[in-house]
Structure 1
Amino acid sequence: MAFSLSILLNDVIQGDQVAFGKLYRHYRTPALKFCVSILKDQEEAENMVHDVFIKIWEKRALINPELNFNSYLFTCLRNLAFDYLKQLDKNQLLRQRYLERMEHVQPDETEDPEIQFKVLQTAINSLSEKRKQILLLNVEGGKSYQEIAELLRISKNTVKNQLVKAKQLLREKIDFALV
């Protein structure tokens, strides 16, 4: 496979989509198994493999067929998986801190539901249209990341990132408004 892999990579570099499809099919299963072993999440692993191959296609002109493509691919996958896990830990830590803060909040005028609703509505309206749309589809519409991604024709990771950013902004604006 080493010699034909080199030819295949050269074809991919030249923009041959059929060759890229062959490259993808050759590496898909081992790449998926590798990601699942790190993430323990089949769906997220599939998204990650797709994202890495999209990046490879977009940056195909930078591929050096003389170097070890196998090593390059799995290093990219490992780095992306570790970044994802770090982000997941960070989100869990933020959620935990928020819950701890909420336990120590003293009852006062900020518990007035009408005031809280107005503050929340103002904060939501300050979001960009796309971010607001994604947030409302998720929170009010009860849609999953995958459903939102399909509906808006964007990646599941984009949905996830936009929701994380929207919720972070809302937290900051609400905390500021209620202080």
Structure 2
Amino acid sequence: MVSENELNDILLLNLLKADDEKAFKYIFDRYFSPLCRFMYLYVKNQQEVEEMALDIFTYVWENRATLEIKLTFKAYLFQAARNKCLNNIRDRKNTCSIEESGYDAYLEDTSVEVNELNRIIEEAVLSLPEKCGEVFRKSREEHLSNQEIAKEMQISVKTVEAQITKALKMIRKYLGETYSYIW
């Protein structure tokens, strides 16, 4: 036995296929607001929701001749709305502008933190004993190997290693707990 709603949907579909604009207006008026409320549960942007709902109704009108409704118009429209929302969410996850992502603000904050950290490290290096600081700078800033430092400063490789170890311990202590993860 066919329900009254199913008969109405069959009649509406037949009228749509016959290019009846009144039937389309009836469907639009009946389902647009409920569809938007449903879609808003997924996409919390009213303007996007309304645009997506209009896209669905545009699709229905443009494809009315070949449209096949298996259950009811309501079920068809709400399934289309759900799919549209899920696609929107997927696409938003894959692409967003740098402004939306907040990445530029993150970079700015990070830049400030890095500059501050570099300043503190420089202070720590300046607080090292003279020879210890010199060995450390040659190692980290000039990127010389322990052997090259030993040869240039006319000291043993073991002394270079000891001075670098001492420098790292002193810098770690200078930085304290806040930056302990660095060293």
Structure (1 or 2) with the greater helix fraction: 1
TM-score, normalised by the number of residues in structure 2: 0.49
TM-score, normalised by the number of residues in structure 1: 0.50
